[in-house]
Amino acid sequence: MKPVVSGNMVTKPFFVGWDPKDAVMDDPDNHIERYLDKLTRMWIDPDAAKRHLKKKGNPLVYEVYEKEIPQRDGEIQFCSSITHPGKIGTEYFMTKGHFHKRRDTAEIYYCLKGRGFMLMEREDGEHYLLEMRPGRTVYVPGDFAHRSINAGDEPLISLAVYPGDAGHDYGSIETSGFRYVVVEKDGRPEMIENPRYGRMLE
Ligand code: PAN
Ligand code: ZN
């Protein structure tokens, strides 16, 4: 019996297993994979991304396993968000980041594995960088764009939970970027101003 929903039909009760060893959901409906060759413009040094592709190949930067839940008010979306370890130049592997289409919707990230950060930034410039580590839940309020950053040497894995009708808006982050980025300096993570802020597509 397939214990899940389909499309926009009535939601039926279901469960998912959560592999306690690799901390990722079993039996997802969708698996989204983001490889470096499709993410070359999101770094402070896009040429470093191109050099990486030439010399070291095309790594999987992050991936998401999710159940397919109707995108409507009252439902709850949830997924495994996995950001792999690595760097482009000095900048840690990270997700594209997005606002929610319905801007006032919040999200929680329950970190299960790895080390890193949640970078959050509102349109007016208010921003926060919170450390993610196993056992910690980060609350991302509505109106904040958010991005996971892996500053460790194993996958950064979280259970992300957000409202059914939140949706994703990638456009403004793709174009403008975040005002701040996290790089490795003297072996440690450091938040610096994004030198390409406002012109990520150039
Ligand atoms: C997460 C993210 C996931 C991948 O489920 O979608 O971490 O990051 P991007 O969506 O920025 O590529 C979430 O925040 N959902 O709303
Ligand atoms: Zn989100």
Ligand 1 atom with least separation from CA of 81: 7
For the chain, the first-to-last Cα distance in angstroms comes to 50
Amino acid 85: pLDDT:
98
Q: List pLDDT tens digits, range 116-166.
A: 999 999 999 999 999 999 999 999 999 999 999 999 999 999 999 999 999
Residue 96 CB neighbours (<10 A): 16
User: Which pLDDT belongs to residue 20?
Assistant: 83
Domain definitions of the chain by residue range: 29-193
Q: Could you tell which of 32, 104, 165, 168 is best to mutate to test the pocket of ligand 1, judged by most ligand atoms within 8 Å of the CB? A: 168
From CA 194, how far away is CA 41, in angstroms rounded?
13
Beta strands in the chain (DSSP E): 30-35, 60-66, 76-83, 87-88, 91-92, 107-113, 116-122, 127-132, 137-140, 144-150, 156-163, 180-185, 188-193
Residues 75, 11 contacting (CB under 8 angstroms): yes
Which residues of the chain carry a pLDDT beneath 70? Answer: 1-9
pLDDT of residue 8: 52
CATH topology of domain 29-193: Jelly Rolls (2.60.120)
Q: What was the pLDDT predicted at 2?
A: 46
What pLDDT is attached to residue 11?
82
Q: What is the pTM of this model?
A: 0.95
Task: Output the pLDDT for position 169.
Answer: 98
pLDDT confidence of residue 3: 43
Kindly report the backbone phi and psi dihedral angles of residue 93, in degrees, each rounded to the nearest multiple of 5, phi listed first.
Answer: -55, 145
- Closest ligand, as measured to the CA of 149: 1
